[in-house]
């Protein structure tokens, strides 16, 4: 299992080139609803990283971040991308 | 007298502190939480738990289940998400389950489930399923099905088996169409199908009695909307939509309609005058129609990041509108004037940018002492006394195990919050006492308080405080509502001063 520091450094959004630590910082410095705060992280309107970002946003709203859960969601998406690219 | 098997099971449960000596009777166990225990195999003796109703095996390393589990005749709720199952153990098909969670495994085939006729709630999300129709009985009684983040390309056969289903989640699959067979799902109320490649929706879809539809992040370029007479919520965000057509009979009770980040050049208004939320953010809109003024129940309008110059006077009729996002347009002075007359509670162009949340510096203390006067004006238990406030906040600043945060705008302190460490005998550890959360009047409704409280809670988590607590004046309705919305729970304790 990855450490908290390792998870903080994991890239959560390729489009915006942001890691978990940067995404937390952006969410903490914004009072916008998720759809708008997400665009601050991604810089785009795509939804590829939505699952992990939405979870992180909600965790930030409630003041407790489950780093293992975020790490799991990021890895899950990466595995899925890899599998889809292998199949195509 | 206990059998050897009972002893074995009791000892196995004790290693997880799930059985204490006073209640050491496996016959009495009805619920068992074995989540996140690093378990790779279950003992065969688990079948002795004949009164077990609910079993949580999530977040382990299981690849199989013991066949003795078929003796768990009372088991109705089984959580096996996030294990390492590649095939589903056949014993699952022999259980009378009503709720089953298999999310986050590596399942490619779940045909074992076709014998589970009692299932009402099934979660198969984040697996490797390419189709799910073979897993369900012809006359499935399922009410809720989560198939999100699999590899499903079509739902034709699946739809034919789900006439009783009320809620389906198909997010993150490979669907290219919603086929005519969807018409068989007569009980369907909620469909989530975002993050697919849907470019076609069959007309049968519009005959359903759906209440909520999410089709965001698909490949829809044009959509004609009609019927769906029970619909309250429709999300079409992030589709390459260039045109939406509304029939007059479309969704008379629609409350929320969102087309964020599409490619629309024209502002289409749904026929429902019952609309509460309308979002056309990040499109290519140039005009807002005059008829917007007829949508008098609208409480949130989001049209930011378009090419809008003028806003119709009729917008000022929307007296219930308390949230308006319009930034990123080319608004004329006249349009800004109309918005200022409307004066919604939350409006992005009124919000000040560049507000930062920082740890307080010594030089901030006088400003913080002034801010406390705002708070004490509301809280009747306290008297305003600047010198005492400065002395108090300075003592807090110099004390150990305290955190003082300030919100700043253009170098000035516009908000603050403090936290100090306490020891709780009830929690058996350190907790955080939050105090002095206050924001200057002219910076209210901009989320500054939320940001301060989120940041302080984040710090509390870093310190591993077991709890955070605060006191609020019982007559300060705004504060009570603020804390309640952010998850703070009111306790039965009251504060007594001596």
Would you call B448 an interface residue with chain A, using a CB distance cutoff of 8 Å? yes
Interface residue ranges in chain A relative to chain B, Cβ cutoff 8 Å: 24, 27-32, 35-36, 39, 45-47, 50-51, 60-65, 72, 76, 80, 83-84, 87
- Cα-to-chain-centroid distance, residue B365: 38
Residue of B nearest to A63 (CA): B457
Q: Which two tokens stand for residue B181?
A: 């067979």
Domain shared by B342 and B361, yes or no = no
Q: What is the C-alpha separation between B394 and B382, in angstroms, rounded?
A: 18
Q: Cβ contact (<8 Å) for B487 and A62?
A: yes
Task: Find which of B458, B463, B484 to mutate to test the A interface (most A CBs within 10 Å of its CB).
Answer: B458
CB B193, CB B170: distance < 8 Å: yes
Residue B492 lies in a domain: no
Helices A34-42 and A20-28, packing angle to 10 deg? 130
For chain B, the domain total comes to: 2
Q: Which two tokens stand for residue A75?
A: 């890895």
The answer to whether residue B33 scores a pLDDT higher than 70 is: yes
pLDDT in tens, B37-91: 999 999 999 999 999 999 999 999 999 999 999 999 999 999 999 999 999 999 9
pLDDT bin (cut points 50, 70, 90) of residue B3 is: confident
Instruction: Say which DSSP state B361 is in.
Output: P
Residues of B in contact with A72 (CB under 8 A): 82, 104
The region that residue B104 occupies, defined by phi over 0 for left and psi between -120 and 50 for alpha, beta otherwise, is left
Kindly report the CA angle at B405 between B404 and B408, in degrees rounded to 5? 140
Please tell me the predicted confidence (pLDDT) of residue B405: 97
Please tell me the predicted confidence (pLDDT) of residue B23: 55
E strands present in B75-147: 77-79, 99-101, 121-123, 144-146
Please tell me the predicted confidence (pLDDT) of residue B496: 83
Mapping DSSP onto H, E and C, the string for B282-345 reads CCCCCCCCHHHHHCCCCCEEECCCCCCCCCCHHHHHCCCCCEEECCCCCCCHHHHHHHHHHCCC
Cα–Cα distance list, B89 to B64, B75, B85, B94 (Å) = 6, 16, 8, 10
The partner residue sitting opposite B457, judged by closest CB among A51, A63, A87, is: A63
Domain shared by B218 and B237, yes or no = yes
Q: Which residue(s) pair with B430 in the sheet?
A: B423
- The rounded percent of chain B whose pLDDT value lies above 90 is 77
ipTM over 0.85: yes
Q: Which of B315, B347, B379 corresponds to the end of one domain?
A: B347
Residue B496 lies in a domain: no
The answer to whether residue B133 scores a pLDDT higher than 60 is: yes
Please tell me the predicted confidence (pLDDT) of residue B377: 83
pLDDT in tens, B446-498: 889 989 998 999 899 999 999 999 988 888 888 888 888 888 888 888 888 88
How many helices, marked H, and strands, marked E, lie in chain A?
5, 2
pLDDT, mean of residues B187-213: 97
Please tell me the predicted confidence (pLDDT) of residue A50: 87
Domain shared by B338 and B370, yes or no = no
Pairwise pLDDT comparison (B4 vs B197), residue with the higher score:
B197
Query: 3-state DSSP call for residue B145?
Result: strand
Q: What is the C-alpha separation between B356 and B39, in angstroms, rounded?
A: 46
pLDDT in tens, A24-67: 999 988 888 999 999 999 987 777 888 999 999 999 887 789 99
Residues of A in contact with B461 (CB under 8 A): 63-65
Domain shared by B340 and B360, yes or no = no
The answer to whether residue A1 scores a pLDDT higher than 80 is: no
Please tell me the predicted confidence (pLDDT) of residue B21: 63
Please list, in sequence order, all residues whose beta carbon lies within 8 angstroms of the beta carbon of residue B496, skipping any fewer than 6 positions away: none
pLDDT, mean of residues B149-170: 93
Kindly report the CA angle at B176 between B172 and B178, in degrees rounded to 5? 95
Q: Cβ contact (<8 Å) for B325 and A36?
A: yes
Residue B493 lies in a domain: no
Domain shared by B361 and B342, yes or no = no
Domain shared by B340 and B365, yes or no = no
pLDDT bin (cut points 50, 70, 90) of residue B22 is: low
Element (H, E) at A17: none
Per-window interface: B 330-389 vs A, CB < 8 A: 356-357
Instruction: Say which DSSP state B375 is in.
Output: H
Q: State the pTM of this model.
A: 0.89
What's the CATH code of the domain at B434?
Answer: 3.40.630.30
Instruction: For B361-392, give one letter per residue: b (16+ CB within 10 A) or e.
Output: eeebbebbbebbeebbeebeeeeeeeeebbeb
The answer to whether residue B25 scores a pLDDT higher than 90 is: no
Residue B44 lies in a domain: yes
Residue B491 lies in a domain: no
Chain A: give the shortest CA distance to residue B454, in Å.
5
Q: Which residue(s) pair with B294 in the sheet?
A: none
Domain shared by B303 and B374, yes or no = no
The partner residue sitting opposite A47, judged by closest CB among B216, B279, B458, is: B216
Q: Could you tell me the residue range of the domain that residue B442 belongs to?
A: 356-485
pLDDT bin (cut points 50, 70, 90) of residue B350 is: confident
Domain shared by B61 and B132, yes or no = yes
Domain shared by B363 and B339, yes or no = no
Residue written as token pair 């382990």:
B60
E strands present in B147-214: 167-169, 177-178, 190-192, 200-201, 212-214
Instruction: For B18-29, give one letter per residue: b (16+ CB within 10 A) or e.
Output: ebeeeeeebeeb
Q: What is the mean pLDDT of chain B?
A: 93
Chain A: give the shortest CA distance to residue B447, in Å.
5
Please tell me the predicted confidence (pLDDT) of residue B297: 97
Chain A: give the shortest CA distance to residue B261, in Å.
6
Residue B135 lies in a domain: yes
Please tell me the predicted confidence (pLDDT) of residue B24: 62
> Minimum mean pLDDT among B94-98, B219-223, B445-449: which range?
B445-449
The answer to whether residue B385 scores a pLDDT higher than 60 is: yes
Please tell me the predicted confidence (pLDDT) of residue B102: 97
Q: Cβ contact (<8 Å) for A65 and B458?
A: yes
Residue B495 lies in a domain: no
Q: Which of B347, B382, B413 corresponds to the end of one domain?
A: B347
Q: Which of B347, B371, B403 corresponds to the end of one domain?
A: B347
Domain shared by B397 and B479, yes or no = yes
What's the CATH code of the domain at B338?
Answer: 3.80.10.10
Domain shared by B478 and B342, yes or no = no
Please tell me the predicted confidence (pLDDT) of residue B231: 98
Chain A: give the shortest CA distance to residue B356, in Å.
7
Query: 3-state DSSP call for residue B136?
Result: coil
CB B66, CB B89: distance < 8 Å: no
Residues of A in contact with B446 (CB under 8 A): 31
Burial class (CB in 10 A: 0-12, 13-18, 19+), A12: buried
Residue B490 lies in a domain: no
Domain shared by B314 and B424, yes or no = no
């Amino acid at each position: 299992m990855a450490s908290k520091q390792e998870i903080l450094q994991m890239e959560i959004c390729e489009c915006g080139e942001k890691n978990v630590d940067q995404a937390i910082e952006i969410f903490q410095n914004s009072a916008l609803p998720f759809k708008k705060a997400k665009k601050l992280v991604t810089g785009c309107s795509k939804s590829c990283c939505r699952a992990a970002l939405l979870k992180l946003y909600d965790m930030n709203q409630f003041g407790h971040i489950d780093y293992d859960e975020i790490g799991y969601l990021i890895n899950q998406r990466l595995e899925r991308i890899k599998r889809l690219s292998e199949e195509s | 007298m206990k059998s050897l098997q009972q002893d074995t099971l009791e000892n196995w449960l004790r290693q997880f502190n799930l059985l204490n000596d006073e209640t050491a009777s496996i016959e009495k166990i009805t619920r068992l939480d074995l989540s996140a225990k690093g378990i790779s195999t279950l003992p065969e003796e688990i079948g002795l738990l004949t009164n077990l109703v609910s079993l949580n095996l999530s977040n382990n390393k299981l690849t199989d289940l013991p066949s003795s589990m078929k003796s768990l005749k009372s088991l109705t709720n089984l959580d096996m998400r996030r294990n390492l199952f590649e095939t589903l153990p056949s014993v699952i098909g022999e259980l009378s389950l009503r709720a089953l969670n298999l999310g986050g495994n590596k399942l490619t085939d779940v045909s074992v489930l076709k014998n589970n006729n009692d299932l009402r709630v099934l979660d198969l999300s984040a697996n490797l399923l390419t189709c799910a129709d073979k897993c369900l009985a012809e006359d499935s009684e399922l009410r809720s099905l989560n198939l999100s983040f699999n590899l499903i390309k079509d739902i034709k056969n699946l739809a034919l088996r789900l006439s009783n289903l009320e809620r389906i989640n198909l997010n993150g699959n490979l669907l290219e169409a919603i086929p005519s067979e969807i018409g068989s799902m007569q009980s369907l109320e909620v469909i989530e199908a975002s993050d697919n490649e849907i470019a076609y929706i069959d007309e049968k879809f519009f005959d359903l009695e759906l209440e909520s539809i999410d089709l965001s992040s698909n490949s829809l370029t044009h959509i004609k909307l009609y019927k769906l007479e029970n619909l309250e919520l429709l999300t079409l965000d992030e589709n390459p939509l260039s045109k939406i057509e509304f029939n007059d009979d479309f969704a008379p009770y629609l409350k929320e309609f969102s087309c964020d980040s599409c490619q629309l050049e024209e502002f289409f208004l749904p026929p429902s005058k019952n609309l509460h939320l309308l979002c056309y953010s990040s499109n290519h809109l140039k005009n807002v129609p005059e008829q917007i003024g007829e949508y008098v129940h609208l409480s949130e309008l989001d049209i930011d990041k378009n090419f809008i110059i003028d806003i119709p006077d009729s917008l000022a009729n929307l007296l219930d509108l308390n949230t308006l996002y319009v930034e990123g347009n080319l608004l004329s002075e006249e349009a800004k004037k109309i918005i200022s007359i409307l004066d919604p509670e939350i409006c992005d162009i009124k919000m000040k940018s560049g507000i930062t949340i920082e740890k307080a510096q010594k030089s901030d203390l006088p400003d913080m002492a002034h801010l406390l006067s705002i708070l004490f004006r509301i809280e009747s238990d306290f008297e305003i006394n600047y010198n005492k406030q400065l002395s108090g906040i300075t003592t807090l600043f110099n004390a150990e195990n305290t955190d003082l945060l300030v919100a700043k705008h253009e170098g000035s302190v516009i908000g603050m919050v403090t936290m100090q460490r306490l020891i709780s005998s009830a929690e058996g550890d350190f907790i955080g006492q939050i105090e002095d959360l206050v924001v200057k009047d002219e910076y209210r409704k901009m989320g500054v308080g939320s940001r301060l409280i989120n940041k302080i809670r984040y710090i509390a988590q870093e310190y591993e405080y077991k709890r955070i607590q605060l006191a609020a004046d019982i007559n300060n309705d705004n504060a009570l509502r603020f804390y309640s919305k952010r998850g703070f729970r009111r306790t039965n304790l009251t504060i007594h001063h001596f």
